[in-house]
Amino acid sequence: MMRWAYEELSTGKWLIDQIWRAASEKGLKTGRKNFWQIIRNPIYCGRIPIAKYKEEEAHTAKGQHEAIISEGLFYKVMDVLNGRNKPKKTTICSPDMLPLRGFLICPECGSMLSGSASKGYNNYYHYYHCIAKCGVRYNAEKVNKLFIEELKKYTIDPVLHEAYAMILKQVYQYVSSEDNNELASVKKQLEDFNIRFSKARDKMLNDVILDFEYRKIKSDCEKNILILENRLINLSRGKENIIQLIGKATGLLKNLHETYLEADSAGKRRLISSIYPQKLTFDGTQHRTVRMNEAVRVLGT
Ligand SMILES: [Zn+2]
């Protein structure tokens, strides 16, 4: 009986109360509250709960008794009960076949196209479609293929690739010159504190200032030097990666359609939304868009 209850619960299709009622009808003689408690008792998967004791946290230990259900099943049910394993809607359409779902606008009515699969003779056919009333429907394979053709238009000429990388580098250096000014200022302050510190030491050694005065200056200088050194580290951090980053960015554009083809479902969707800030309209023969990412547009044409 308990094994049955765990198995049903693990599917995530039922509420614990539904299972309790069904089990009661099958002859289980325990109250609802008690059922809620015993379901969470690891004793059914062969473990004994051990309460918190002194320094030791509450935990479970392997018991000598025979387990009614596996630990895997027990913890799966715990996940369901704790809401971590929400029942998933079963779907026959594969997201890999419909990467453009959510990005396409119906050319007839302006609604967002959805994607589905229908079963053919021995295969599923995927398509993007509008609401039933509108009736617009496109073969997903064809739409996906044409989208890749569209991406190819924005692929950078390899000859120009180097030039783009160089321009980006120069722009970056120009933009980061402000950072460089701050860097120089921090270095100068650091030097000043170091000079002040060594001067104070000389004065102390020559009995110009007293020992406690020297110690005060010393601790003041050390504190400031520490702060400035941290600023220095922060300012120079990340600079060394910029060349690599530029290479990666222009490399991505160089092979935009290849990058897209190699990406997984989530990666494809990220790429699409970064290239096209607005949705695409597929009119049956080609993709159209009102606006696309400036960088891609400028570099690709
Ligand atoms: Zn429509």
* Other CB atoms within 10 Å distance of the CB of residue 202: 11
What is the per-residue pLDDT across 114-145, written as a single tens digit (0 to 9) for each? Answer: 998 887 777 778 999 998 788 899 999 999 99
Read off the pLDDT of each residue in 277-288 and give the average, rounded to a whole number: 82
Residue 261 to residue 282: CA distance in whole angstroms = 19
Whether 282 is covered by a domain: the verdict is no
| 258 found inside a domain | no
pLDDT of residue 93 exceeding 70:
no
Count CA atoms within 13 Å of residue 272 on its CB side: 24
Long-range contacts formed by 240-243: CB under 8 A, 24+ apart = 242/169, 242/172, 243/169
Q: Does any domain span residue 284?
A: no
Taking the CB of residue 2, how many other CB atoms lie within 10 A of it?
Answer: 16
Q: Indicate whether 38 and 8 sit together in one domain.
A: yes
Query: Residues with Cβ < 8 Å from 36, sequence gap 6 or more?
Result: 16, 20
Burial class (CB in 10 A: 0-12, 13-18, 19+), 205: exposed
Residues 103, 68 within the same domain: no
For residue 40, the CA-to-ligand 1 centroid distance in Å is 50
* Cα–Cα distance list, 73 to 77, 79, 239 (Å): 6, 10, 51
287 alpha carbon – ligand 1 mean position (Å): 15
Residue 147 Cα to ligand 1 middle (Å): 19
Quote the domain boundaries for residue 71: 2-81
Ligand 1 geometric centre to CA of 276 (Å): 21
- Determine, yes or no, domain membership for 135: yes
Burial, 17: exposed, middle or buried (Cβ in 10 Å; 0-12, 13-18, 19+)? exposed
Which of these ranges, 30-44, 57-71, 95-109, has the smallest mean pLDDT? 57-71
Among residues 38, 56, 81, the one where a domain terminates is 81
- Ligand 1 centre and the CA of 186: distance in Å? 61
**Separation of CA 116 and ligand 1 centre (Å):** 15
Ligand 1 centroid, distance to 138 Cα (angstroms)? 11
Q: How far is the CA of 145 from the centre of ligand 1 (A)?
A: 21
Domain end marker among 242, 262, 290 = 242
Going from the Cα of 275 to the center of ligand 1, the distance in angstroms, rounded, reads 24
Q: What is the Cα–Cα distance from 50 to 212, expressed in whole angstroms?
A: 60
Question: Mapping DSSP to helix (H, G, I), strand (E, B) and coil, where does residue 134 land?
Answer: coil
CA–centroid distance, residue 265 to ligand 1 (Å): 25
The answer to whether 141 and 124 have CB atoms below 8 angstroms apart is: no
How many angstroms separate the alpha carbon of residue 279 from the centre of ligand 1?
14
Same domain? 238 vs 166:
yes
Is 62 inside a domain boundary? yes
Let me know: does 257 contact 152? Beta carbons within 8 Å.
yes
Specify if 201 maps to a domain: yes
- Do 44 and 106 lie in one domain? The reply is no
Q: How far apart are CA 147 and CA 288, in angstroms?
A: 10
State which H helix or E strand residue 229 sits in: helix 211-236
User: What percentage of the chain reaches a pLDDT higher than 70?
Assistant: 88
- Residue 299 forms part of a structural domain: no
Distance, CA 148 to ligand 1 centroid (Å)? 23
Kindly give the distance from the C-alpha atom of residue 259 to the centroid of ligand 1, in angstroms, as a whole number: 31
DSSP per residue, 200-216: HHHHHHTTSS-HHHHHH
Domain termination site, one of 242, 263, 290: 242
Q: What is the pLDDT of residues 144-177, one digit of tens each?
A: 999 998 888 877 777 777 777 777 777 777 767 7
Measure 241 CA to ligand 1 centroid, in angstroms: 47
With 60 as the cut, is the pLDDT of residue 58 above it? yes
| Distance (Å) from CA 104 to ligand 1 centroid | 11
Confidence of residue 89 (pLDDT cuts 50, 70, 90): very low
As for how many domains the chain has, the answer is 3
| Two structure tokens written together for 100 | 């453009």
Ligand 1 center to residue 224 CA distance, Å?
66
**CATH number of the domain where residue 72 is located:** 3.90.1750.20
Tell me the C-alpha distance between 199 and 217, whole Å: 10
Q: Does residue 100 sit within a domain? A: yes
For residue 132, the CA-to-ligand 1 centroid distance in Å is 8
Ligand 1 centroid to 97 CA: how many Å?
Answer: 21
